[in-house]
Structure 1
């Protein structure tokens, strides 16, 4: 059994038994892991508020090794590095953060290291804390999470014949994983999402630039809606189901249920949906 210390981001946390918590983390060294934090629900727990979602930690846990791929690790210590308080005070930013961590939670497999994905998620949370547009920051981070997970969408040229689309309206095929020219779209008969040249240009930049830089890009209302529609359709194709859109995210799980009753009644919260 190895003792491992690594930077990590809390993706999700829920009750486990009478006094413990089951925590999903995305770690810099090992990718996604799940672990039990013993006694984390007790009033005088050594973990305090460190296991709330969106928190960046230095976490220490005991791991049984590669022969126990599906086993839970035992979390022994968690020290907060970044807490992002604004994400818990502003509903829009909380929902954007929820969309980022939700995608990482759904699209990654356990114990598959992804240092670049870790950095992308951390920078995305930082951008929300620093005042970036929540909707656009969420789109940018999700596109880059897809790229680091092996699902990079193609916007530069037709994914079938590799020609550069010249039409005033461009077609994005979720099944093909990128834009398709009009002749290829007719031959495939697959459902496509329509894109304007402006929306395509935004997606090209969002895929290439680092998160702190790309979140400064601006997008008009129509372009924003097109970009969100493309991302939603592509995620549905990859995951086989629809993830909640930004306006439908339920961030109530991001608040520790045992502390929720102690929070100020003036703090922004969404209705809990149970679970």
Structure 2
């Protein structure tokens, strides 16, 4: 099949990741509105006068045209949809986490327009609200949208409901809560405490409206406990450490 016969995909896209490729090119991963995650090469994008290279930046919102290739797709054109707002280092760090999570938890070319909208809303909200909470909320919503959501209402071993007042633990390996009665069965299995406040915070973040959030008092202990559980669980699901978390730790956020 000649290049002219291969499918040309045109779509709105949010740029998740960009890196240099070969001598003068860029490799990019985007999440598009109608085609899901796309990977492609932008040939010549590192040349100073190449407009596509200047536009192809992390978190940019673009309209792209991508030509399918035999081994890898290539960028034919792109144009800016919305002028990006400047981010401080903290916002950039959390935006990188949201983007990397999207890249590792989604499959290539699986249309999820609702996820495209959700990512765009999260990137906008982290510049207006607490970025730590926004990205945790996005991570929880992303797990649900991609079918990876853990079990948070019943014990994954015995199936009994875990009440709001009951002590519980989280098993990243089993993918959900472990009740007090079943805890001894999983000793040495990497269980993490998952208290009532942590579970309540998780549920609040899962329903968080970025534009009009409902009032909620976030306690530091529950927040740190949830972060530890959530990112450990994501690692178990993907078997890939998140590079963006290293950036966060370096900023001592």
Distance apart, 1:51 and its partner CA: 0.7
Match of 1:132 among 129, 134, 138: 129
* Aligned 8 A contact 2:94 2:248 in 1: no
Taking the TM superposition and a 5 Å limit, the aligned residue runs for 1:147-162 are: 147-162=144-159
- Offset of residue 191 of structure 1: 2.4
- For the structure 1 residues 46 and 228, does the alpha-carbon distance in structure 2 shift closer, same or farther, using more than 3 Å as the test? same
CA drift at 1:177 = 1.3
| Deviations, residues 100-155 of structure 1 (Å, cap 9, x unaligned) | 111112222222222222222111101112x2111111111111111111101222
Secondary structure class of the residue paired with 1:157: strand
Question: Structure 1 runs of 4+ off > 6 angstroms?
Answer: none
Instruction: Give the whole-Å Cα distance in 1 for the aligned partners of 2:53 and 2:185.
Output: 58
Aligned residue in 1 for 2:59: 54
Aligned to 2:141: 144
* Residue among 95, 105, 108 paired with 1:107: 105
TM-score (norm 2): 0.86
1:63-102 paired onto structure 2 within 5 Å: 63-64=68-69, 71-87=71-87, 90-102=88-100
> TM-score, with normalisation over the residues of structure 1?
0.79
Alignment of 1:164-203 (within 5 A): 164-166=161-163, 167-189=165-187, 190-203=189-202
Residue in 2 that maps onto 1:18: 23
> For the residues of structure 2 that align with 1:183 and 1:84, how far apart are their CA atoms?
51
Unaligned runs of 5+ in 1: 253-269, 271-275
Aligned to 1:116: 114
Q: 8 Å contact 2:137–2:208 — kept in the other structure?
A: no
Q: Deviations over 1:244-275 (max 9, x none)?
A: 574x22699xxxxxxxxxxxxxxxxx8xxxxx
- Give per-residue Cα distances to partners, 1:154-199, cap 9 Å, x unaligned: 2222233332223543211111211121122323443211122111
Structure 2: how far apart are the matches of 1:214 and 1:32? 29
Q: 1:11 to 1:72 in 2, by over 3 A?
A: same
Q: Distance in 1 between matches of 2:230 and 2:244?
A: 10
Mapped to 1, the partners of 2:116 and 2:213 lie a distance apart of 17
Distance in 2 (CA, whole Å) between partners of 1:193 and 1:140 is 20
Are the counterparts in 2 of residues 19 and 40 from structure 1 also a CA contact under 8 Å? yes
Q: 1:137 and 1:195, CA in 2 relative to 1: closer, same or farther beyond 3 A?
A: same
Unaligned runs of 5+ in 2: 1-5
What is the CA RMSD across the aligned residues, in angstroms?
2.5
Moved more, 168-177 or 138-147: 168-177
Number of aligned positions between the proteins:
244
